[in-house]
Structure formats: C-alpha cells, structure tokens
Amino acid sequence: MFEVANNKKVKLITNAEVHRIEGNIGSFHVKVVKKPRYVIEEKCTGCGACEDPCPIFRPNEFNAGLSARKAIYIPFAQAVPKKALIDMKNCVKCRLCILSCEEEAIDLNQKEEEIELEVGVIIVATGYEVYCPDREYGYGKYPDVITQLTLERLLAPNGPTNGELVKISDGERPKRVVMIQCVGSRDLKTNTYCSEVCCMVALKNAKLIKQEYPDTEVTIWYMDLRCPGKEYEDYYRRAREFGIKFIRGRPVEVYSNGKNLVVEGENSLTSELTRTEADLVVLSTAIVPSRATETLANMLRLERGPDGFLKEFHSRLNPVETKIPGIYLAGVSQGPKSIAEAVYQAKGAASSAASPMIAGIYVLEVISAEVDHELCSGCRLCMSICPYGAIVEKDGKVEVEDIHCRGCGLCFSVCPTQAITVRYYRPQQFEAYLDSLLEVEAGAETEAFPRIVAFLCWK
C-alpha cells in the first residue's frame, strides 16, 4: 500500500464510498463520496499528538476490540495514508485535539466531498469479512471462545498484548488451546462452500503457539484438512512433528464444567465420544462476502453466485472477466482464496484491464438480441430473466443494449409472442440449416440420416 500511495500514476481515494456507476467500457462515469476525516490530510504528519489529550476511549476495531482507541486516532501503524481521523459519532468536541496540533491540521467543519470520475475500465476488489458465529460453540457466551482473527491479533507483536498469548477472561496464559475448523463453512445451514484458507491459518497459528510456548497443548478438531498449495502438505507434516494433536470430527458443543471449557464431539475415526478440556477455544470461521459486494453488484449489474460472491464470466476459462465488458474481478470479490491466488488473479485482472486501454479500442461482436416492437406485448419477462441486465426500458419500450448483450437467447425462450430474437440465430436460419444438412436424394435413405440426427442431439 505504501508503494501504491507513492506512485504518481495512482490516485488513491480513502475513507470514501462509491455511490453511482454508469456507462460502458471506455466511458464509465463514477460518483465517489469522500467522507470527512475532520483532519486536513495535506497538513497532518501522523505524529499522534492529537490522540493524547482526547478524553474519549472506544474499542479498537483493528485489535478486535481487545484494546482501546481515542475518538481521534490513526487506525493502525501501517495505515495508508498515515493520517488521523475523528470518529464524530463519539467525539464530544472538547477541542483539546485542536489545541495540541502544532500543524493546525484539524478542521471540525469539514463536509462530504463528491468526486466525479470518468474511467475506461473497472477492477472490483471488495475483499471479505469473517463469519460471525451467533453463540455457536459458546461464542459470545464464554469470553475465552474467540476466532482465529482475534488470535492473530493476540499473537502479533504490535497487538494489544505485544504478542503474548493470554486468556480473555483473566489475562492468564492458557495451557490448553483447542481449535475448531469449518465454523460457518461446509455447512448446509450457513455456507456450503470451503473457505480455503482456514486449515493453513489454523496450522500456522498452532505452530506459532508451540514455538513460543512448547508446554502448551494444542488440539485441532477438523472435518478434512485441506492443504493443496505449494509445500502446504510439508507444512502440515511439520506441524504434526511439533506435537500438535488432531481429532477428526465435528464437535457437538462447547460448554463450561465450572473450571475449564470442554469441547465435546465424536471422533469420526474411532467412533468414540471425545471430550477435550481447554483454557482457550479458537474458532476457524468462514470467509464471507463483504458488505460492499452486494451494493457494487447492483450498481454494476453483476451477478452473484449462490455463495454471495461476484460471478465471473466463466469459472474455469475466464475467472477474471465479468459478463459486463470492461469490468474485472480480483481477489476475494470472486470467492475465497489464499494470498497467492489473490495475487495471481490481481495480476491477471490488471493485464486484462490494460489490454483495451493500450489498444484504445474495444471490438464488439454484435451477436445480440433485438426487439420487434410490433409483436412486443410489454410483459417484461425478458427483462426479468436477462442475466446480463442488457434489456432495459426506454420511453415505455423494451430495448436491448448491444454492448451488454451476449446473445445467450434466454430472452427468446421466455417471450410469449416471439417478439425478441437473437441476430444470426433466428429460428428460420436454424430450420434452413437443418433442412440442407439432412437433405438426401429421393429413394436413397441410408443409415446416414440417423447418424446425423444422433450427432446433432449429442452436440
């Protein structure tokens, strides 16, 4: 991010939301609303002097609420830009920060700023959020049931405990740590998909715990350990050599016996009921689409899959482009993936987006639908079924936007009056093609006819 912020060819707009996107490839009109920081970015040096006199304390979101921040704060040490901002919902306007700022960078009268952009292509990289288990396995009920994200902050040298592993309830070091995999993943009641990274995150954090605290007992309950990446299997083998225990099975519940937490479930390898006592229980929770994903999908007329992530043009052959020309996907906006996979796709998206920009022209093959308004009854069924959002209503009539239509023919299949057809694929053209293909000389019927019919059915 630091390199991006210092690249003169990159315009970085932070603390902002996209409010409107219109247009087509080569001419997208984007409206961005930049929220006020109440700090003048050009003047702020990120020294942090304004934070000290602030009397308001709020939970620090970056540290999963395990530490506090002020109403005026820098989000985290590596923030880009490293500038202060004011949480105006909690600010009491005591103005102590203004008095402490030597650069006179604080402006409590800042307003929202509307920015209009005209761009040729768009890359969507909305990131992800972590599934929140609603009292699942005692989460929210017992303070010592946490997620891997919280554990990451506990183990981080710049975290709320300076990297020291402690129990949330009393600050003591846990002697027994139990991790539960696939919480919110591979579950018909929540998310059916695999989040891909959870197994390796659990192995990494378990190994970190064993390296720092060799006497700590670490146990991982798992359904299947999925380690398909480069050298991931070796990493799993080394984790076993560290003495990390593995129990194959999905726990039924986590409860307290008055002293410790107990993880109870069936060991699917031995079919035995297993109870594991723990001082700290860590849930490996699912990756879910960010809140911005649905908003941007509606703005850009993009489809979302059953998992809620944005749908690519083709999951195997073209996982970078979308159904809308000029819009590309990168990272977890398309689905759960590791850091390496996200980098691969980001480079692919950048390369794909650069191609039409370098060429300066976009060639469109117009195999699109068209409407016969004399036959159209105005039922709008075609508009409701079009997966590309290419059929719109203009001046009370149904029209097809050629640049968005991909000629799939779904609109033709539902039209009750056959008022909408696809260019070059009209029924009359197919009938003529089949008549010529199946034509045989009179009295010369052979087994060639059934062979041709069989071939057509197979295709």
Residues 105 and 170 in one domain: no
User: CB 67: neighbour CB atoms within 10 A?
Assistant: 14
Q: Per-residue pLDDT averaged across 3-32, rounded?
A: 92
Q: pLDDT tens digits for 254-307?
A: 999 988 999 999 999 999 999 999 999 999 999 999 999 999 999 998 999 999
395 occurs within a structural domain = yes
In this predicted structure, what is the pLDDT of residue 430? 77
Domain of 248, in residue numbers: 129-288
> What is the chain's mean pLDDT, rounded?
91
How many structural domains does the chain have? 3
Considering the domain architecture, whether residues 43 and 152 belong to the same structural domain is answered as: no
pLDDT cut 90: percent of the chain above it:
80
Q: Give the CATH number, domain containing residue 224.
A: 3.50.50.60
Please tell me which of 327-341, 353-367, 423-437 the model is most confident about, judged by mean pLDDT. Answer: 327-341
Check which CATH number belongs to the domain holding 378 and give it: 3.30.70.20
Helix axes 198-212, 148-155, angle to 10 degrees: 30
| C-alpha span between 324 and 298 (Å, rounded) | 12
In DSSP terms, 72 is beta-bridged to 86
Q: Within a domain: residue 327?
A: no
Task: Indicate if the pLDDT at residue 426 is higher than 90.
Answer: no
In DSSP terms, 29 is beta-bridged to: 22, 118
d(CA 54, CA 100): 10
pLDDT given at position 459? 40
**Residues 419, 421, 422: CA angle, nearest 5 degrees:** 165
Q: Provide the pLDDT for residue 442.
A: 45
Q: Is the dihedral of CA 233, 234, 237, 239 positive or negative?
A: negative
pLDDT in the model for residue 433: 80
Are 175 and 125 a contacting pair, CB within 8 Å?
no
Tokens at 444, concatenated: 């010369």
**End residue of a domain, out of 288, 321, 350:** 288
Shared-domain flag, residues 166 and 266:
yes
Check whether 180 has a pLDDT greater than 90: yes
Other Cβ atoms closer than 10 A to 443: 5
Do 112 and 176 lie in one domain? The reply is no
pLDDT at 2: 80
Identify the sign of the CA torsion 62, 67, 71, 74. Answer: negative
**pLDDT for position 275:** 95
